[in-house]
Amino acid sequence: MSDFGHHGFRVGNAFMDSWGAGPFTVGTDKKKWTFEFSDRFGPLLIGKDGMPLDQQPMLERDPFWIPFRGWLAARAALKGSDG
């Protein structure tokens, strides 16, 4: 898989098209998630084959969002230290 992925896929009745850097991995002691990230499209969970998962975290209470928010905060801190 390349460092910059492009995916066209279907989620429910919607067709999506996205680009993202990665893969990145976040997790808890119970589960790990691998995703690509785009500043424009946000995270896209991917499987071991690098393809988008059929089930994406759509609800705010999905357990993915807690470690992902930590990843975003660390990313923002690193970007802020560049200048």
Going by C-alpha positions, the residue among 33, 34, 32, 36 that lies closest to residue 7 is 36
Q: What local confidence, expressed as pLDDT, does residue 59 receive? A: 93
Domain residue spans of the chain: 4-80
Residues 69-79 have a mean pLDDT of 91
Query: Is the entire prediction scored with pTM above 0.85?
Result: no
Strand partners, 46: 52
pLDDT per position as a tens digit, 33-60: 999 998 888 899 999 988 889 899 989 9
Give the pLDDT band of residue 5 (cuts 50, 70, 90). Answer: low
Residue 38 main-chain phi, psi, to 5 deg: -125, 135
